[in-house]
């Protein structure tokens, strides 16, 4: 309701998402984080914080931040909805294929099947190796971020504005 009011008045809204009172990345943490992300995704919050915050705000978990990012990407896909138009309904394709046919070799299927969201970390294997690989995937993702992340440069206009604020602050001190 608060995010709706802020949206109505054209104000930004600072919503929470992805924090948990759990002490470790465990089923409680995942349930709390998923529910918060789902609620925030459906609200009109446009500034979101607490990604990866755990244990009553006493710690930040890189693993939870990476897992939350996977859930955020999933929620983005969920919240975009389903576009309904002539292309997506594909009534002409249904007519072409006919009763009992299949769509796998139809050019429409080939052109559109890639629009499905696939997770980066969550497993989709047909075989069960008797243990989840999710934490291995999370650790590998964290290692890759630490090894390869480059901080993007701020836009020159933003840097100029920050320089003005810095100059103003230095005069006051």
Buried b (16+ CB within 10 A) or exposed e, 44-63: ebeebebbbbbeeeeeebeb
Residue 3 vs residues 11, 32, 41, 71, 143: alpha-carbon distances, Å: 9, 20, 11, 21, 36
How do 53-54 and 47-49 pair as beta strands?
unpaired
90-143: pLDDT as tens digits = 899 888 888 888 888 888 888 887 777 888 888 777 776 777 788 889 999 999
| Model pTM above 0.75 | no
Listed in order, strand segments (DSSP E) in the chain are: 14-16, 47-49, 53-54, 59-60
């Amino acid at each position: 309701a608060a995010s709706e009011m802020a949206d109505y008045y054209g104000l930004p809204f600072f919503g929470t998402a992805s924090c948990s009172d759990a002490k470790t990345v465990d089923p409680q943490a995942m349930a709390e984080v998923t529910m918060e992300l789902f609620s925030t995704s459906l609200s009109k919050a446009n500034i979101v914080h607490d990604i990866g915050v755990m244990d009553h705000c006493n710690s930040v978990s890189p693993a939870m931040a990476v897992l939350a990012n996977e859930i955020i990407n999933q929620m983005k896909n969920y919240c975009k909805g389903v576009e309904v138009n002539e292309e997506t309904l594909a009534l002409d394709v249904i007519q072409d294929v006919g009763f009992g046919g299949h769509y796998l070799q139809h050019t429409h299927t080939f052109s559109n099947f890639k629009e499905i969201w696939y997770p980066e970390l969550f497993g989709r294997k047909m075989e069960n190796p008797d243990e989840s690989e999710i934490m291995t995937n999370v650790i590998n993702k964290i290692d890759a971020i630490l090894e390869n992340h480059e901080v993007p440069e701020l836009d020159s206009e933003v840097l100029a504005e920050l320089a003005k604020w810095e100059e103003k602050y230095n005069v006051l001190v």
